[in-house]
């Protein structure tokens, strides 16, 4: 993973059971303040050491609000599932799943990020299973429960974390039946909220089909047809007869880095990949997606290093 390799950060410590400890400089905040950082379906903090400290403080606040004890093993799906949370705190559980994903995705390097993705996945599943209807349907089939679910944030952040965990253990996940489960969630999301997180369901699905092993469901045509919903690439997308369908998608740089990484680079279209990635670097980060656009620019730089080796 390409994660802020130049930074020297020591804010994240682990105990024997893998509990997150907040750095001493992280400011204490209340729930209202923490919630204010969740904007436009994303978390808005600086892409910096200070931003990471703020995000860790947000996580600490959310865990405190839920009453999570220091000895709860968040790496255990059963332990998180058995932990009692009031029904009115479901939104806080969703925020915790999202905050863990954002911390791991943006600020952490391997191998420490995997533990955080696992926690995020478990809190996402916890949120889904706080719906009694989901639990009842899941007793028969997971995909049936997902097909009836309406909590978009719970579905999306469960899947975001789950896909990252699966990406690190591809064949193990394939044989464990994970692809059918995450695909069921993506199908539901593209049905009820394709615009969430600036086309996040399309990004997820495109990366999913690109990342599967050959012979086990990899489908670059399907990757293209999903990613074309979030990029303004009329010529390249004419092959699948899909065009940009998400409003403001161009302003969110990750749509373009996903298109470059999971389709153009996967199909050896190196010159096109270089052009798309350079377009991300040529635009200002702006004020709307401060964290993710700044992160996407660094990611674009590192992807370009690989691309340039093929030019």
Q: Look at residue 239 in the predicted model and tell me its pLDDT.
A: 85
Give the separation between CA 213 and CA 173, rounded to whole angstroms: 11
Give the separation between CA 214 and CA 302, rounded to whole angstroms: 25
Cis status of the peptide bond prior to 80, with omega within 30 of 0: no
**Angle, helix 152-168 to helix 90-102, in steps of 10 degrees:** 30
- 309 CB neighbour count, 10 Å cutoff: 8
Quick one: three-class SS letters along the chain? CCCCCCCCCCCCEECCCCCEECCCCCCCCCHHHHHCCEECCEECCCCCHHHHHHHHHHHHHHHHHHCCCCCCCCCCHHHHHHCCCCHHHHHHHHHHHHHHHHHHHHHCCCCHHHHHHHHHHHHHHHHHCCCHHHHHHHCCCHHHHHHCCCCHHHHHHHHHHHHHHHHHCHHHHHHCCHHHHHHHHHHHHHHHCCCHHHHHHHHHHHHHHHHCCCCCCCCHHHHHHHHCCCCCCHHHHCCCCCCCCCCCHHHCCHHHHHHHHHHHCCCCCHHHHHHHHHHHHCCCCCCCCHHHHHHHHHHHHHHHHHHHCCC
Q: What is the CA 214 to chain-centroid distance, rounded?
A: 23
Q: Look at residue 27 in the predicted model and tell me its pLDDT.
A: 55
Spans of the chain below 50 pLDDT:
1-26
Q: Look at residue 111 in the predicted model and tell me its pLDDT.
A: 85
Q: Of 107, 122, 149, give the one whose Cα is nearest residue 18.
A: 122
Q: What is the pTM for the complete model shown? A: 0.91
Beta bridge partners of 13: 21
- 26 CB neighbour count, 10 Å cutoff: 20
Q: Of 298, 306, 215, 293, give the one whose Cα is nearest residue 264.
A: 306
Q: Look at residue 68 in the predicted model and tell me its pLDDT.
A: 97
């Amino acid at each position: 993973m390409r994660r802020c390799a130049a930074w020297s950060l020591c804010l994240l410590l682990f105990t024997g059971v893998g509990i997150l400890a907040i750095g001493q400089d992280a400011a204490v905040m209340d729930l209202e303040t923490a919630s204010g950082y969740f904007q436009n379906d994303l978390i808005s903090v600086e892409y910096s050491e200070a931003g990471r400290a703020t995000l860790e403080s947000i996580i600490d606040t959310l865990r405190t609000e839920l009453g999570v004890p220091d000895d709860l093993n968040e790496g255990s799906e059963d332990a998180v599932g058995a932990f009692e949370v009031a029904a009115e705190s479901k939104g806080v559980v969703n925020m915790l799943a999202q905050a863990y994903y954002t911390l791991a995705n943006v600020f952490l390097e391997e191998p420490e990020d995997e533990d955080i993705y696992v926690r995020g996945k478990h809190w996402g599943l916890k949120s889904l299973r706080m719906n009694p209807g989901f639990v009842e349907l899941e007793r028969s089939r997971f995909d049936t429960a997902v097909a009836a679910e309406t909590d978009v944030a719970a579905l999306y952040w469960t899947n975001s974390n789950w896909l990252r965990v699966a990406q690190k253990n591809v064949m193990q996940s394939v044989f464990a039946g994970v692809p059918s489960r995450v695909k069921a969630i993506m199908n539901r999301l593209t049905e009820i909220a394709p615009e969430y997180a600036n086309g996040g369901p399309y990004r997820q699905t495109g990366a999913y089909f690109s990342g599967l092993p050959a012979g086990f469901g990899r489908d670059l045509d399907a990757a293209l047809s999903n990613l074309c919903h979030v990029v303004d690439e009329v010529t390249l997308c004419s092959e699948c007869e899909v065009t940009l369908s998400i409003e403001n998608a161009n302003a969110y740089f990750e749509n373009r880095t996903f298109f470059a990484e999971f389709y153009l680079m996967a199909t050896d279209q190196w010159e096109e990949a270089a052009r798309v990635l350079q377009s991300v670097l040529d635009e200002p980060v702006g004020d709307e997606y401060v964290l993710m656009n700044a992160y996407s620019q660094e990611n674009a730089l590192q992807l370009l290093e690989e691309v340039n080796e093929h030019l």
